[in-house]
Structure 1
Amino acid sequence: MNAVVAGNLGHLSLNRPDSINAIDLEMMRGLTEALDAWADDEAVTAILLDGTGDYGFCAGGDFREILARAAEGMTIGSVFFRNEYRLIAKLAEYPKPIISIMHGMTMGSGISLAGHVSTRVVTDRVKLGQPETGYGFVPDGGASWRLARTPGEIGTYLALNSVDLSPADAIELGFADVMVPAERVGDLTAALLDADDAASPDEKARRFATEAGPSAVLARRDWIDACYSADTVEAILERLWAFSNGDVVEGLAAADSNDPDAASNAASAADALLRLSPTALVATLRSVRAASDSETLRDALERELRLARWFTTQPDLFTGVQALVAQNTETLHQDEVPEWKPAELADVDVADIVAAMQTQLRHSVFSRGLGIPEEEPAAAPESASA
């Protein structure tokens, strides 16, 4: 992680391009220390947060680090997530303007780092997503809070189906504020560094912004609302199948949808759900629904920490990440489905998930300062060492 002051701008760059800037504990420490130092530094009036390399801003959290430590019997999951969530809250609550630039792959924790600051820029080459249910986890880092505030049931759809977002989707759904073409990012950075230009970072970003166009995801809202408003994942699947077969669901038929491909899109959504971790799907639906209008970002982070800690003791997270690594190294075919445990939605223990969401941890997100506190050892699932 690089942290420099240029003019009146504090510039933070995620700098692990070989891993698409996946965030680890060392990066969290560096970001936190720089933000703390600049908060009271009168010479620094604004912050720029970006990532190095052409492939993306941030591919998410470094789960390889979590799994390696977990395989050693360490409760690194709790430590990792607690520190990450504190950093996200710090970015969201920072007393000075922060402008983030999301380019290329921006997934999971990458969205959380960049998505709660005062001005959020995406380029025309960005690819955003919450892919967690695809590797046996839940959207976290304030994601449940953000997803619950999208129009209708779109957040539920995005969270469950691990849907990728275009620049237009990101802006229309509240994940970003403006789109700046990739070839103009250098000009934007130069403008931000120009101490003689009294405009705010937000004003400077909007100088270089262009229209992103319509959101493809938002155009599907009518059938998404109809199908994803069900109370359980099983019921959502039943509605998707019925809708794709021509039945009327919640007063809507595919023929009457604003989406001309409503039936096929609903069928594809159902097929996608069948490939994802049943445990992660059930927990994700519970988590997003729990992020009510009255809840604060800090409340969501506390609940997400409890869920994240629980998932580090479950087999699906280890199975999913190992499958992801295997796919990236081409040792597992993209179409192969990991061996989720349990493999069926009906066999997921909902009571365990509810207890995980409600049980207070010994250390909450905000109970202690940044660092690695001593914690009790926790045995990882057998698949962690496979």
Structure 2
Amino acid sequence: MAEPEVLFEVRGTLGVITLNRPRAVNALTAYMAAGMLETLTAWARDPAVSQVLVRGAGERGLCAGGDIVAIHRDIASGGTQTAGFWATEYRLNSLINAYPKPYIAYMDGLVLGGGVGISAHGSHRLVTTRTRSGMPETTIGFVPDVGGTYLLSRAPGQSGTHAALTGEHLGAAEVLYLGLADNLIDFNRAEELFSALEETPVDDLLPGYILPAPASQLESWRPWLDAAYGHDEVEEIVAALVVLADDGNEEARISVQTLAKKSPTALKLTLASLRRARELATLEEALEQEYRVGLRALESSDFPEGIRAQVIDKDYAPAWNPATLAEVDSELVEASFASLGSRELKLNPRALRDAATTTGGRT
């Protein structure tokens, strides 16, 4: 018998969720998202559960994102299952954000894409020196989702724009600076902390485990990041980075090279998504916007091509269509944000809060 993809147990008064696909770095499936949504809803009402811990099996990470191999297969047959998966996943993200009890996310190792969605919306977000996190969607011809556009559009200055467009994997210092996590802890003491959480509130324990936050490169780069990424057109951002690179800014030069490898359409959609998300009042509005853009991406050629190049054939040579920023149709970008009509994702965080019997979660 194959082991379940996600494990649920109550230890003392601690509800423990363990993503259990270690060979796939716990990549999130529709089954896992549905199980988490159902169990977290039940635990929110259960007085025997006082707080929740989410962790990943194995040593490689919490979650490397959604199962994009399954998405690639589904796109070939119409993409209907992926649309349902995202609807459930985004409801899960909304529930985590509104959760009425402490939600402790152990963000050790890889925490990418969908892994950010099940961690960065929680009330207690813990990284380690092994953390490598980020939203690498432009690499596969997609756009940051699971609330990533909401979070990164609110990062200091234009640091979130840089992170979203380049899709870089970031260490603990950068994750903390971007606002995707709260505290750094020693992974060697994690099991000790988890055992203590079975009987003791996280806020009573955590001060004894927190390490000093390391200095962030993104913070030191803030002046040139703000200057280059403050533009509202990707071409203008690239041009500003080129000028900086010509003046000797090595990091700007690397950024130019990185952006040149990404899907031009995905870059334009990502920047537009971030700018729009910055003006939205709630996470749920951003998730609904991401759902619109995501369903349009299922109909594109770049999304399946990006997955093919990155994880199917692994030739890392996607044939983007169109191949340049100048060729991207601005009307197509605008149309990606249009209403889905009867397919609109409608999230109701108030209903999630009202279903609970205690308070204390993230707002």
TM-score, normalised with respect to structure 2: 0.91
**Deviation (angstroms), 1:140:** 0.4
Question: In the superposition, relative to structure 1, how do residues 367 and 119 fare at CA in structure 2: closer, same or farther (>3 Å)?
Answer: closer
**Deviation (angstroms), 1:168:** 1.2
Does the aligned pair in 2 maintain the 1:83–1:365 contact within 8 Å?
no
**Deviation (angstroms), 1:294:** 4.6
- Is 1:318 aligned to 2:318, yes or no? no
Does the aligned pair in 2 maintain the 1:21–1:59 contact within 8 Å?
yes
Question: In the superposition, relative to structure 1, how do residues 186 and 131 fare at CA in structure 2: closer, same or farther (>3 Å)?
Answer: same
Matches within 5 A, 1:203-352: 203-246=204-247, 263-326=249-312, 331-332=314-315, 336-352=316-332
Q: Which residue of 2 aligns with 1:87?
A: 92
Matches within 5 A, 1:133-148: 133-148=138-153
Counterpart pick for 2:48 among 43, 47, 71: 43
Q: Which residue of 2 aligns with 1:374?
A: none
Does the aligned pair in 2 maintain the 1:180–1:210 contact within 8 Å?
yes
**Deviation (angstroms), 1:96:** 1.1
Does the aligned pair in 2 maintain the 1:157–1:224 contact within 8 Å?
yes
Structure number with larger C-alpha Rg:
1
Does the aligned pair in 2 maintain the 1:121–1:205 contact within 8 Å?
no
| Aligned AA (2:265) | T
Does the aligned pair in 2 maintain the 1:92–1:116 contact within 8 Å?
yes
Does the aligned pair in 2 maintain the 1:82–1:364 contact within 8 Å?
no
How well do the aligned residues superpose, as a CA RMSD in angstroms? 1.5
Q: Which residue of 1 aligns with 2:359?
A: none
Tell which deviates more after alignment, 228-237 or 164-173.
164-173
Detail structure 1 runs of 4+ shifted over 3 Å in the superposition: none
Residue 146 of structure 1 aligns to a residue whose secondary structure is helix
| Aligned AA (1:302) | E
**Deviation (angstroms), 1:354:** 1.3
| Aligned AA (2:330) | V
Matches within 5 A, 1:148-167: 148-167=153-172
Residue 168 of structure 1 aligns to a residue whose secondary structure is helix
Q: Which residue of 1 aligns with 2:203?
A: 202
2:344 and 2:16 mapped to 1: Cα distance? 30
- Is 1:66 aligned to 2:67, yes or no? no
**Deviation (angstroms), 1:170:** 1.2
Does the aligned pair in 2 maintain the 1:306–1:360 contact within 8 Å?
yes
Residue 337 of structure 2 aligns to a residue whose secondary structure is helix
| Aligned AA (1:347) | E
**Deviation (angstroms), 1:326:** 4.2
Q: Which residue of 1 aligns with 2:345?
A: 365
1:222 and 1:53 mapped to 2: Cα distance? 39
2:79 and 2:259 mapped to 1: Cα distance? 32
Question: In the superposition, relative to structure 1, how do residues 202 and 364 fare at CA in structure 2: closer, same or farther (>3 Å)?
Answer: farther
2:165 and 2:194 mapped to 1: Cα distance? 35
Matches within 5 A, 1:49-128: 49-128=54-133
Q: Which residue of 2 aligns with 1:131?
A: 136
| Aligned AA (2:250) | S
Deviation string 1:77-125 (CA, Å, 9 cap, x unpaired) is: 3112111100100111111111110111110110111000110001111
Deviation string 1:254-304 (CA, Å, 9 cap, x unpaired) is: 6xxxxxxxx111111111111100000000000001112552100000000
Residue 288 of structure 1 aligns to a residue whose secondary structure is helix
Does the aligned pair in 1 maintain the 2:158–2:230 contact within 8 Å?
yes
Does the aligned pair in 1 maintain the 2:162–2:225 contact within 8 Å?
yes
Question: In the superposition, relative to structure 1, how do residues 26 and 157 fare at CA in structure 2: closer, same or farther (>3 Å)?
Answer: same
2:299 and 2:117 mapped to 1: Cα distance? 23
Deviation string 1:303-344 (CA, Å, 9 cap, x unpaired) is: 0000000001101110110111146xxx52xxx531101001
Quote the sequence identity (%). 37
| Aligned AA (1:299) | E
Q: Which residue of 1 aligns with 2:351?
A: none
